[in-house]
């Protein structure tokens, strides 16, 4: 595209009062060779008209020096065919100026400092505009819009039903010979409507009938998914009969080290007899996206020896008890043990969430229903009945035959024909012994992903979800911000595989996952990214001629978007990509980039910052700020007029994972005195929108620290900080402290070289 | 403790006014707000779960159940509407039946179904006595004016002992005797159960004098002063009804004793002491004041209960209302008979007097089984509470 530029600076919102607008315009015209116009209110009708008139006259690349790019988005949107770059003069310059303490004079050079900062942001914005090219969306030649639902239980059936209702074709795969899954064994289900007190009939049969009657849904029972190859919009699924082995089964992940050992004949190839993961199955069925509803398995409770499961007759799990109740009458005296108990153990059984509490309340009612003088004892450490289910709990409580107490269950033992349950720390004020006919243990719901691949992907990063061990076997997605999503784009989990949940929750869950699957297909159809960069039309471009097959990008991509060929050359799958740029940050050859975000573009922005020499009051410290949380937090700090040191320069990045260490070198070799990465929390409770980005960035920074010390630079000149979006009050402190550290270290000794 | 919930017990508590007991979720707000709850042995939180679990033995051996004055502070503050105050009332009702002897009579007095029998027994007994006495006739106005009700059971020449008194004693003394004997059996059983439950040592037992001096008398003082009643914040009004009512009973007790002394002891020596008391006789004044206080007190309690039923959704139970009706009956028939005597209406007077005798007999006979039993059980619990803190109980 032939670009014709014009720059606009706004003097509204206090910008004009704090800055010399003419001098600022001169920086743009003289240094950046761009026309520059000022207006007192660019976002107003008049201001917009000014820009729109220029656009009508042929301007297609607009630089706006005004407020943060996070606000006034609609006002400064001139269409997809125009490039708009915004310099954040308001929140991060004028509003973030350090104000003198009460009664103190402002710094003699305060006005100059502010002017310098604003000038740098205009320089960076103009450079960005010059380096940005318009996005060309990646479009598949053929797109398949069928949704495959794995698992024909309640969640799967619901997802299939909802997807079909939205007009999509569905393939529903169930490994058993019948649909219905675990729900087939339930006698009653929880209340779903006011007054939330009475058990309801199991909805599963009606749901099965609805799904089988739909002409949009193809049901495959007795079938398993051998492998899923390809990418969203173009997945190729190999099916097989349940329990059989085929050459198209998903191959296990082989690490680079393992591959070497296999090649030397020192390790047996785990994938002998299987087709390589890149091989295309000619019989594969094409689907667009996948809903994973493979459900759960009852957790094993035999490890709790004092409870007698497996050794004592009539000690059963809740799932077994439900089956008994479905088949006939339950015993008259039953103890429901909700927690393993023992000394000082207040935990519930693993994987139980709130479900087992409600299951016990339900099953206790069977005891009273089936027996005239039935007695059900619920011994709990926690009674969890979220939302409306509180009313269900209250109602169960009213039942004469249901007895509840918080208790630590110490021992279940045989007592003639009966069982004795000994419990301590009860609400009754003393240790108790209960003589009962049956003991029901509240075994949890283990996701299928805990024990097998479940999803069987033919991906370079392996057939299963990554980092399962971090989340007790649950597929990793940001549970609160991005429910249903997984680390594999186009695969959306719902039901018991996502969370131990009730049937009611599973229905909501499945509906949500179906919508995400639809959203994914439609985004692929338009060639744009899914969440969290929804609608982003750019995608990473690889300059393959210069690739050294180092495999860093294929290894580090948090979403497994990159496969590779035998030599290790990456094979991108743009529809799997979430556009975080972690591959770009990883690439030592700097051959990966986006049209509006690449190594050269950011590198040039860095170089456009003016670095004064021999002036200890004018050090330059570069901060790469994650756009997702840190950047808005920084804006909020500005809105609250929390002062930020004048030596700081911020560059927004898609994710810290996309920060290429070349930029740090660029900054330091340009004479800047320090660099910081400001991004999301990582670790078990990570907040990174791309899951691994900030963690990877932190590792890279450790390594660059080593490089710096070999060069004789203090490794402390580079730092990473983790902040949350709510940390706007802490950010100024973090940044200003870093500046002070750098000031103490003194200027970069390579300045001016 | 091996726990065996008694479902029957739970159902009876629910019927006796504790219908909300299952709602409790053990937050202990009740024990915190209760003005009578002691630090060392707070209630009624523990009583709530014991009753939810149908632990009859625990509750029957628990003095705290009887120390509750049902002021309703806990009920007002209960976040779940479990009404601990009402539940404790229901437990007490159950306890009176449980400790009652003979059991069939206790059972009869515990429900509205027994009401025809409860009224029928004294009606028949008194009527038969009236027949046996041979005095079965309505007096003339002159006779009525001279003797009042003093010849209800007739008159004989034996001056040492009036025929009327003989019959009244014949009816009332066994009634009261049975009541007192049963009460004695009940409280000794309760004391034993409570002592066993507390693990109190029986090695050092107080003498009767010590017992009265150290435990019973201070308890009575507290009761008469209504010290604990006055602690209640929510239902303070009840003192205004209960205290006059209790004082009225004491007053009437004194008058009855004096009347007995006057007619049956002094009257033996000076026959002129026989006969109705003069209106200005101090004892007569006490009697009349007591009668008015009794009616006033019961009216306050009546309206309080009606109000609670309306505003707090308190369940109307036979247990509560039977006592209110009975005391009302005693007061109304007593004062009515007196007024009818002054009015010189012998027929109506005799009928009302007859009913008065019936209601008195009911009061005596059913004393240990009805709500009136709190008189003895709560006093016992007060004493026990002091006893268990004393050196006697602590080895």
Which residues in chain B are closer than 8 Å to A401, comparing Cβ atoms? 7
Q: How many domains does chain A have?
A: 5
Range of the structural domain that residue B93 is part of: 7-99
Q: Which residue has the tokens 């004793």?
A: B257
Name A67's Cβ contacts closer than 8 Å, sequence gap at least 6.
A10, A13, A43, A86, A88, A89, A90, A91
Mean pLDDT over residues A414-441, rounded? 95
Asked if residue A239 and residue A286 are part of one domain, the reply reads yes
- The most confident of A2-11, B145-154, B168-177, B307-316, by mean pLDDT: A2-11
User: Could you tell me which of B22, B104, B18, B27 has the C-alpha nearest to residue B68?
Assistant: B18
ipTM above threshold 0.90: no
User: What tokens appear for A450 in the block?
Assistant: 């805990």
Which residue in chain B has the smallest CA separation from A405? B49
DSSP state, residue B61: T
| The predicted structure's pLDDT at residue A707 | 84
Compare A345 and A564 and report the one with higher pLDDT: A564
Residue B1 belongs to a domain: no
| The predicted structure's pLDDT at residue A436 | 97
Asked if residue B357 and residue B283 are part of one domain, the reply reads yes
Residue B48 belongs to a domain: yes
Residue A568 belongs to a domain: yes
Residue by residue, what is the 3-state secondary structure of B341-386?
HHHCCHHHHHHHHHHHHHHHHHHHHCCCCCHHHHHHHHHHHHHHHH
Asked if residue A172 and residue A64 are part of one domain, the reply reads no
- DSSP reduced 3-state for A118: helix
- The most confident of A366-370, B141-145, B162-166, by mean pLDDT: A366-370
Q: Which residue has the tokens 């110490």?
A: A410
Q: Does residue A448 carry a pLDDT above 80?
A: yes
Asked if residue A741 and residue A633 are part of one domain, the reply reads yes
Asked if residue B255 and residue B185 are part of one domain, the reply reads yes
Residue A180 belongs to a domain: yes
Asked if residue A753 and residue A606 are part of one domain, the reply reads yes
Name A671's Cβ contacts closer than 8 Å, sequence gap at least 6.
A611, A613, A620, A748, A750, A751, A752, A753
User: Could you tell me which of A288, A247, A294, A275 has the C-alpha nearest to residue A464?
Assistant: A294
Q: What is the CATH number of the domain that holds A568?
A: 3.30.70.20
Which residues in chain B are closer than 8 Å to A403, comparing Cβ atoms? 5, 52-53
Which residues in chain A are closer than 8 Å to B1, comparing Cβ atoms? 428, 430-433
Asked if residue A657 and residue A570 are part of one domain, the reply reads no
To the nearest whole Å, the CA of A325 is away from the closest chain B CA by 23
Q: Which residue has the tokens 């200027």?
A: A747
Q: Does residue A644 carry a pLDDT above 70?
A: yes
pLDDT tier at B238, thresholds 50, 70, 90? confident
| The predicted structure's pLDDT at residue A101 | 85
User: A361: part of which helix (H) or strand (E)?
Assistant: helix A355-370
Q: What is the CATH number of the domain that holds A621?
A: 3.40.50
Residue A531 belongs to a domain: no
Residue A400 forms contact with B (CB below 8 Å): yes
Asked if residue A152 and residue A85 are part of one domain, the reply reads no
Nearest to B2 among A401, A406, A433 (CB): A433
| Beta-bridge partners for A524 | none
Q: How far apart are CA A265 and CA A259, in angstroms?
A: 10
To the nearest whole Å, the CA of B49 is away from the closest chain A CA by 6
**Helix then strand then coil, % of chain A, to nearest 5:** 35, 20, 45
Asked which of A503, A526, A549 is the last residue of a domain, the reply is A526
CA distances from residue B206 to A357, B202, B217, B392, B393 in whole angstroms, order as listed: 53, 10, 14, 7, 10
Mean pLDDT, chain B, whole residue set: 90
Asked which of A549, A568, A592 is the last residue of a domain, the reply is A592
Share of chain A above pLDDT 70, in %: 99
Asked which of B57, B83, B99 is the last residue of a domain, the reply is B99
pLDDT tier at A255, thresholds 50, 70, 90? confident
Residue B395 belongs to a domain: no
pLDDT tier at A753, thresholds 50, 70, 90? low
| The predicted structure's pLDDT at residue A130 | 97
Residue B228 forms contact with A (CB below 8 Å): no
Which residue in chain B has the smallest CA separation from A429? B46
* DSSP β-ladder status, A5-10 and A674-679: unpaired
Asked if residue B141 and residue B44 are part of one domain, the reply reads no
Q: Give me the count of residues in chain B.
A: 395
Asked which of B53, B77, B99 is the last residue of a domain, the reply is B99
Asked if residue B155 and residue B119 are part of one domain, the reply reads yes
Asked if residue B347 and residue B228 are part of one domain, the reply reads yes
Residue A405 belongs to a domain: yes
Residue B41 forms contact with A (CB below 8 Å): no
Residue A608 belongs to a domain: yes
Residue B53 forms contact with A (CB below 8 Å): yes
ω before B102 within 30° of 0 (cis)?
yes
Q: Flag if A435 and B26 touch (Cβ within 8 Å).
A: no
Which residues in chain B are closer than 8 Å to A373, comparing Cβ atoms? 7
Asked if residue B384 and residue B372 are part of one domain, the reply reads yes
Contact A79, A51 (CB under 8 A): no
Asked if residue B159 and residue B94 are part of one domain, the reply reads no
Q: What are phi and psi of A2, to 5 degrees?
A: -80, 120
Q: What are phi and psi of A670, to 5 degrees?
A: -80, 0
Phi-psi region at A703: left, alpha or beta (left = phi > 0; alpha = psi -120 to 50): alpha
Q: Does residue A482 carry a pLDDT above 90?
A: no
Nearest to B3 among A397, A401, A434 (CB): A434
Contact A38, A94 (CB under 8 A): no
| The predicted structure's pLDDT at residue B259 | 85
pLDDT tier at A479, thresholds 50, 70, 90? low
Size of interface A-B (CB pairs under 8 A): 45
Longest dimension (CA), chain A: 98
Mean pLDDT over residues A330-335, rounded? 97
- Per-residue pLDDT tens over the stretch B160-185: 777 888 898 899 989 999 999 999 99
Residue B249 belongs to a domain: yes
Q: How far apart are CA A346 and CA A336, in angstroms?
A: 16
DSSP state, residue A596: T
Q: Which residue has the tokens 């078990």?
A: A684
Q: Does residue A588 carry a pLDDT above 90?
A: yes
Q: How far apart are CA A717 and CA A677, in angstroms?
A: 11
| The predicted structure's pLDDT at residue B160 | 72
CA distances from residue A261 to A385, A459, A677, A720 in whole angstroms, order as listed: 52, 21, 38, 37
Q: Does residue B202 carry a pLDDT above 80?
A: no
- Per-residue pLDDT tens over the stretch A281-313: 999 999 999 999 999 999 999 999 999 999 999
Residue A30 belongs to a domain: yes
Residue B229 belongs to a domain: yes
Asked if residue A326 and residue A471 are part of one domain, the reply reads no
Q: What is the CATH number of the domain that holds A319?
A: 3.50.50.60
Residue by residue, what is the 3-state secondary structure of A478-532?
CCCCCCCECCCCCEEECHHHCCCCCHHHHHHHHHHHHHHHHHHHHHHHHCCCCCC
Asked if residue B182 and residue B53 are part of one domain, the reply reads no
ω before B44 within 30° of 0 (cis)?
yes
Residue A60 belongs to a domain: yes
Which residues in chain B are closer than 8 Å to A433, comparing Cβ atoms? 1-3
Asked if residue A262 and residue A166 are part of one domain, the reply reads yes
- Per-residue pLDDT tens over the stretch B35-64: 999 888 899 999 999 999 999 999 999 999
Contact A295, A338 (CB under 8 A): no
Name A503's Cβ contacts closer than 8 Å, sequence gap at least 6.
A154, A183, A186, A189, A190, A203
Which residues in chain B are closer than 8 Å to A431, comparing Cβ atoms? 1
Q: How far apart are CA A675 and CA A662, in angstroms?
A: 12
Distance of CA A108 to the CA centre of its chain: 47
| The predicted structure's pLDDT at residue A315 | 97
Mean pLDDT, chain A, whole residue set: 94
Mean pLDDT over residues A175-187, rounded? 95
DSSP codes of every residue in A547-585: -----HHHHH-TT--EEE-TT--EEE-GGG-----HHHH
Share of chain B above pLDDT 90, in %: 62
Q: Flag if A427 and B5 touch (Cβ within 8 Å).
A: no
Q: Flag if B10 and A433 touch (Cβ within 8 Å).
A: no
Nearest to B3 among A373, A400, A433 (CB): A433
pLDDT tier at B395, thresholds 50, 70, 90? low
Residue B240 forms contact with A (CB below 8 Å): no
Q: Does residue A614 carry a pLDDT above 90?
A: no
Nearest to A397 among B2, B3, B22 (CB): B22
Asked if residue A341 and residue A261 are part of one domain, the reply reads no
Asked which of A592, A608, A633 is the last residue of a domain, the reply is A592
Q: Which residue has the tokens 């400790």?
A: B99
Name A600's Cβ contacts closer than 8 Å, sequence gap at least 6.
A131, A593
Residue B46 forms contact with A (CB below 8 Å): yes
Asked if residue A218 and residue A116 are part of one domain, the reply reads no
Residue A600 forms contact with B (CB below 8 Å): no
User: B284: part of which helix (H) or strand (E)?
Assistant: helix B282-311
**How far does chain B reach from its first CA to its final CA, in angstroms?**
24
CA distances from residue A331 to A135, A314, A385, A482, A648 in whole angstroms, order as listed: 68, 10, 25, 44, 73
Contact B94, B16 (CB under 8 A): yes
To the nearest whole Å, the CA of B72 is away from the closest chain A CA by 21
Q: Flag if B53 and A405 touch (Cβ within 8 Å).
A: yes
Q: What are phi and psi of B146, to 5 degrees?
A: -75, -45
- Per-residue pLDDT tens over the stretch A532-555: 999 999 999 999 999 999 999 999
Asked if residue B273 and residue B133 are part of one domain, the reply reads yes
To the nearest whole Å, the CA of B315 is away from the closest chain A CA by 17
Residue B2 belongs to a domain: no
Which residue out of A333, A403, A413 would a mutagenesis test of the B interface target, given it has the greatest number of B Cβ atoms within 10 Å? A403
Q: Flag if A400 and B25 touch (Cβ within 8 Å).
A: no
Q: What is the CATH number of the domain that holds B41?
A: 1.10.1060.10
Contact A440, A321 (CB under 8 A): yes
| The predicted structure's pLDDT at residue A194 | 93
Range of the structural domain that residue A80 is part of: 1-134
Distance of CA B222 to the CA centre of its chain: 17
Q: Torsion over CA of B322, B326, B328 and B329, rounded to 10 degrees? A: 140
Q: How far apart are CA A335 and CA A348, in angstroms?
A: 16
Q: Does residue A16 carry a pLDDT above 60?
A: yes
Q: Flag if A432 and B2 touch (Cβ within 8 Å).
A: yes
CA distances from residue A182 to A22, A187, A288, A323, B190 in whole angstroms, order as listed: 72, 11, 27, 10, 55
pLDDT tier at B260, thresholds 50, 70, 90? confident
Q: How far apart are CA A748 and CA A674, in angstroms?
A: 8
Asked if residue B286 and residue B349 are part of one domain, the reply reads yes
| Beta-bridge partners for A457 | A228
Asked if residue A284 and residue A166 are part of one domain, the reply reads yes
* DSSP β-ladder status, A432-436 and A418-424: antiparallel
Q: How many domains does chain B have?
A: 2
Q: Flag if A427 and B49 touch (Cβ within 8 Å).
A: yes
Asked if residue B155 and residue B64 are part of one domain, the reply reads no
Asked if residue A388 and residue A338 are part of one domain, the reply reads yes
Residue A603 belongs to a domain: yes
Asked which of B69, B99, B129 is the last residue of a domain, the reply is B99
User: A133-142, A465-474, A572-581: which has the minimum mean pLDDT?
Assistant: A465-474
Q: Flag if A373 and B7 touch (Cβ within 8 Å).
A: yes
Q: How far apart are CA A205 and CA A408, in angstroms?
A: 39
Asked if residue B213 and residue B92 are part of one domain, the reply reads no
Which residues in chain B are closer than 8 Å to A416, comparing Cβ atoms? none
């Amino acid at each position: 595209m032939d670009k014709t530029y014009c720059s606009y600076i706004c003097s509204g919102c206090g910008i004009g009062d704090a800055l010399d607008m003419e001098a600022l315009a001169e920086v743009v015209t003289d240094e950046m060779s761009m026309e520059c116009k000022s207006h007192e209110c660019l976002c107003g009708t008049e201001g917009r008209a000014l820009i729109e008139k220029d656009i009508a006259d042929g301007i297609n690349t607009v630089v706006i020096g005004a407020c943060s790019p996070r606000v006034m988005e609609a006002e400064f949107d001139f269409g997809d065919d125009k490039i708009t770059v915004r310099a954040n003069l308001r929140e991060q310059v004028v509003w973030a100026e350090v104000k003198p303490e009460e009664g103190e004079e402002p710094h003699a050079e305060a006005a100059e400092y502010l002017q310098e900062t604003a000038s740098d942001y205009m320089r960076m914005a103009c450079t960005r505009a010059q380096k940005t090219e318009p996005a060309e969306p990646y479009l598949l030649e053929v797109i398949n819009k069928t949704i495959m639902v794995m698992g024909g239980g309640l969640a799967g059936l619901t997802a299939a039903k909802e997807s079909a209702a939205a007009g999509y074709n569905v393939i529903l795969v169930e490994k058993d010979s019948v649909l219905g899954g675990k729900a087939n064994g339930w006698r009653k289900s929880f209340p779903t409507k006011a007054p939330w007190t009475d058990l309801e009939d199991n909805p599963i049969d009606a749901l099965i009938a609805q799904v089988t009657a739909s002409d949009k849904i193809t049901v495959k029972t007795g079938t398993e998914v051998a492998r899923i190859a390809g990418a969203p919009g173009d997945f190729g699924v190999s099916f097989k009969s349940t329990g059989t082995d085929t050459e198209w089964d998903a191959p296990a992940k082989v690490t680079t080290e393992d591959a070497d050992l296999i090649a030397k004949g020192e390790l047996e190839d785990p994938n002998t007899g299987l087709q390589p993961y890149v091989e295309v199955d000619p019989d594969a069925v094409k689907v667009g996206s996948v809903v994973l509803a493979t459900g759960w398995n009852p957790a094993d409770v035999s490890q709790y020896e004092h409870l007698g499961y497996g050794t004592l007759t009539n000690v059963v799990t809740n799932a077994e008890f439900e089956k008994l109740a479905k088949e006939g009458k339950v015993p008259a005296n039953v103890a429901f043990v909700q927690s393993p108990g023992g000394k000082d153990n207040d935990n519930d059984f693993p994987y139980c969430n709130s479900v087992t509490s409600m299951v016990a309340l339900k099953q206790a009612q069977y005891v009273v229903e089936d027996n005239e003088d039935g007695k059900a004892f619920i011994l709990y450490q926690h009674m969890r009945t979220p939302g409306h289910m509180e009313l269900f709990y209250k109602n169960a409580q009213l039942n004469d035959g249901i007895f509840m107490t918080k208790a630590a269950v110490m021992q279940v033992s045989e007592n003639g024909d009966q069982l004795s349950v000994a419990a301590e720390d009860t609400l009754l004020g003393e240790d108790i012994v209960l003589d009962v006919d049956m003991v029901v243990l509240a075994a949890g719901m283990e996701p299928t992903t805990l024990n097998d691949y479940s999803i069987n992907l033919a991906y370079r990063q392996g057939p299963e979800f990554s980092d399962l061990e971090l989340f007790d076997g649950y597929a990793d997605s940001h549970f609160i911000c991005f429910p249903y999503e997984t680390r594999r784009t186009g695969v959306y989990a719902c039901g018991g595989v996502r969370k131990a949940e009730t049937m009611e929750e599973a229905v909501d869950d499945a509906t949500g996952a179906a919508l995400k699957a639809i959203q994914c297909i439609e985004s692929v159809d338009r060639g744009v990214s899914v969440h969290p960069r929804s609608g982003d039309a750019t995608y990473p471009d690889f300059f393959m001629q210069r690739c050294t097959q180092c495999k860093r990008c294929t290894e580090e991509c948090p979403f497994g978007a990159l496969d590779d060929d035998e030599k290790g050359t990456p094979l991108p799958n743009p529809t799997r990509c979430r556009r975080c740029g972690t591959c770009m940050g990883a690439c030592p050859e700097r051959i990966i980039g986006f049209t509006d975000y690449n190594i050269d573009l950011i590198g040039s922005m860095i170089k456009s910052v003016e670095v004064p020499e021999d002036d200890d009051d004018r050090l330059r410290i570069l901060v790469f700020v994650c756009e997702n949380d840190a950047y808005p937090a920084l804006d909020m700090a500005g809105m609250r007029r929390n002062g930020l040191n004048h030596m700081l320069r911020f560059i927004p990045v898609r994710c810290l994972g996309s920060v290429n260490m070349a930029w740090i070198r660029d900054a330091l070799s340009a004479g800047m005195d320090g660099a910081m990465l400001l991004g999301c929390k990582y670790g078990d409770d990570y907040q990174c929108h791309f899951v691994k980005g900030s963690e990877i960035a932190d590792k890279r920074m450790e390594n660059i620290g080593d490089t710096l010390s070999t060069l004789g630079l203090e490794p402390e000149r580079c730092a990473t900080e983790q902040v949350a979006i709510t940390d706007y009050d802490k950010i100024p402190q973090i940044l200003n402290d870093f500046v002070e550290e750098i000031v103490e270290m003194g200027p970069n000794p390579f300045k001016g070289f | 403790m091996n726990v065996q919930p008694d479902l029957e017990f739970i159902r009876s508590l629910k019927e006796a006014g504790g219908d909300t007991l299952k709602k409790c979720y053990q937050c202990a707000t009740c024990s915190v707000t209760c003005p009578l709850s002691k630090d060392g042995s707070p209630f009624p939180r523990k009583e709530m779960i014991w009753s939810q679990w149908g632990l009859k033995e625990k509750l029957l051996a628990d003095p705290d159940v009887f120390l509750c004055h049902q002021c309703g502070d806990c009920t007002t503050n209960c976040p779940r509407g479990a009404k601990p105050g009402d539940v404790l009332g229901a437990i007490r009702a159950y306890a009176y039946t449980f400790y009652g002897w003979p059991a069939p009579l206790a059972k009869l007095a515990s429900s509205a179904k027994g009401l025809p029998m409860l009224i029928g027994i004294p009606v028949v007994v008194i009527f038969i006595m009236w027949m046996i006495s041979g005095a079965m006739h309505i007096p003339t106005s002159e006779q009525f004016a001279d003797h009042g009700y003093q010849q209800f059971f007739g008159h004989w020449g034996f001056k040492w002992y009036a025929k009327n008194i003989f019959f009244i004693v014949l009816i009332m003394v066994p009634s009261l005797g049975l009541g007192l004997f049963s009460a004695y059996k009940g409280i000794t059983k309760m004391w034993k159960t409570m002592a066993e439950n507390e693990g109190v040592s029986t090695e050092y037992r107080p003498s009767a004098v010590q017992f009265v001096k150290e435990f019973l008398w201070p308890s009575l003082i507290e009761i008469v002063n209504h010290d604990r009643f006055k602690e209640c914040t929510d239902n303070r009004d009840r003192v205004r009804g209960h205290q006059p009512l209790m004082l009225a009973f004491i007053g009437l007790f004194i008058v009855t004793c004096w009347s007995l002394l006057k007619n049956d002891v002094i009257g033996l020596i000076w026959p002129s002491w026989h006969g109705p008391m003069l209106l200005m006789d101090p004892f007569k004044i006490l009697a009349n004041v007591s009668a008015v206080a009794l009616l006033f007190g019961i009216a306050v309690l009546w309206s309080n209960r009606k109000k609670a039923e309306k505003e707090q959704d308190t369940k109307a139970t036979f247990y509560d209302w039977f006592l209110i009706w009975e005391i009302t009956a005693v007061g109304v028939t007593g004062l009515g008979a007196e007024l009818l005597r002054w009015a010189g209406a012998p027929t109506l007077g005799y009928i009302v007097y007859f009913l008065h005798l019936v209601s008195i007999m009911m009061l005596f006979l059913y004393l240990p089984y009805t709500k009136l039993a709190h008189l003895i059980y709560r006093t016992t619990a007060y004493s026990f509470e002091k006893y268990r803190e004393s050196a006697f109980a602590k080895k």
